[in-house]
Structure 1
């Protein structure tokens, strides 16, 4: 299935619009993520694009690699090392790496989107969806005027689909501005709200309107699954 390349590109454009007036003082100020400045969020968005471009380019050649060969330690070190850059450096780097990522994906043919990647034992299409989530959720975390009210219905429903494992048993969600219900085939205590508000709540961000119902404590963010051996993943093609 063709992934949502156009809406990821729209997210990149919105990010660059938001950063057009960014100053060095803004970079150093706290983001909405505990312990991270805006510079940390920007460094993460930049290096996520770089890592995904590398993984994607190699996947198109039939090669499987980790997004970060050094794991979480390498990822965290890169973010710390880039966080204190100037506003101009952040702007230029995000623009360059986002464009490079889009360029790699533009080379994919229709059947390439099912090429396996190690990330979440997924495929190339899954990386596009992951970047979609990274950009729009972290746009909110930057606290530069973008909130969940800008999340489209398409993105919001996708985010709920991905984050549904955070919902405790016996709870269902019902969209009040559309037809969706999660889980679709389970009855339970119902929480209602607009899709963007349900998605924001599940993502641990502040909804524009708090969903209606007794909101439970959420379970952890969906964990990375146990890695599948490369031989087994490549054998499916």
Structure 2
């Protein structure tokens, strides 16, 4: 067993022991995620929610009117999006639990109109939208039965996925959009294993869409990742590479061709 494999095994054992100890302390009657739940992704989603909440709390009400890092969206639009995304993922979780189809959104037009309306809410109501939606989603996750985690639901992009995918979908939203609030959040705040999974997620997204990408990623201190048939080598710290791959700029990166290449969108 390699050192990396041994560390991963130790982490998994430590997490299981920590969950068991928490249950002993909380006693009978406490409610927990099902054993079949995606515990790693749920932990990421919950810590990312706390990260987003902290960055949001640092902003004054007037600062919500200022631009986010997403073109055409103010911070108000971004907070509304994250709040309504929580509600949309709650609908998928309810679908898995009840078997009754409840799509994320009725249409792309409905989603966009919802965000636009949400961006006009008073600041307090906008903050409550985020807070209440994340609590509702977390309750649905916690109470989802074992078998329901593998029930199939459909994403807004039309992909059929098991309900466990909702934890990863939320992880992406809260962590990356915390940076998009543009008040000091950084990909350098992300856990390394989350950065590695985000990198893999971008590559999976390209593959699903049939994007023909040929390049080599060279994260500092880690093995290179060959994409497609390989191509220009883009080097830099892992947080900077992931920021670029997710469409948020190529700062501090270098390329073997002298210019960092254009890449397809993430999703």
Into which bin does the TM-score normalised by the smaller protein fall? 0.7 to 0.9
Q: Is the Cα–Cα contact under 8 Å of residues 247 and 266 in structure 2 kept in the other structure?
A: no
- How far off its partner does 1:190 sit? 2.4
Q: Is the Cα–Cα contact under 8 Å of residues 194 and 211 in structure 1 kept in the other structure?
A: no
Q: Is the Cα–Cα contact under 8 Å of residues 16 and 91 in structure 1 kept in the other structure?
A: no
Q: Is the Cα–Cα contact under 8 Å of residues 114 and 125 in structure 1 kept in the other structure?
A: yes
Asked which structure has the greater CA Rg, the reply is 2
Q: Which moved more, 1:100-109 or 1:16-25?
A: 16-25
Where do 1:60-71 residues align within 5 Å?
Answer: 60-69=97-106, 71=107
Aligned to 1:72: 108
Aligned to 2:261: 216
- How far off its partner does 1:213 sit? 3.6
CA–CA distance in 2 between the matches of 1:211 and 1:124?
39
Q: Which moved more, 1:118-127 or 1:162-171?
A: 162-171
CA–CA distance in 2 between the matches of 1:53 and 1:146?
26
Q: Which runs of 4+ in 1 moved over 4 A?
A: none
Describe the shift of the 1:2–1:88 C-alpha distance in structure 2 as closer, same or farther (beyond 3 A): same
Q: Equivalent of 1:147, from 163, 173, 186?
A: 186
Q: Is the Cα–Cα contact under 8 Å of residues 149 and 163 in structure 2 kept in the other structure?
A: yes
Aligned residues: 220
| Structure 1, unaligned runs of 5 or more | 223-237
Q: Which moved more, 1:73-82 or 1:24-33?
A: 24-33
Where do 1:116-127 residues align within 5 Å?
Answer: 116-119=152-155, 120-127=159-166
Aligned to 1:178: 222
CA–CA distance in 2 between the matches of 1:173 and 1:100?
39
Aligned to 2:120: 84
Aligned to 1:235: none
Residues 1:59 and 2:88 aligned together: no
Structure 1, residues 52-84: CA drift from partner, whole Å, max 9, x if none? 111211211223332111x11000000010102
Q: Is the Cα–Cα contact under 8 Å of residues 87 and 137 in structure 2 kept in the other structure?
A: yes
What's the TM-score once normalised by structure 1's chain length? 0.84
- How far off its partner does 1:110 sit? 4.1
Q: Is the Cα–Cα contact under 8 Å of residues 193 and 212 in structure 1 kept in the other structure?
A: no
Query: How well do the aligned residues superpose, as a CA RMSD in angstroms?
Result: 2.2
Aligned to 2:237: 194
Aligned to 1:233: none
CA–CA distance in 1 between the matches of 2:266 and 2:245?
9
SS class of match (2:218)? strand
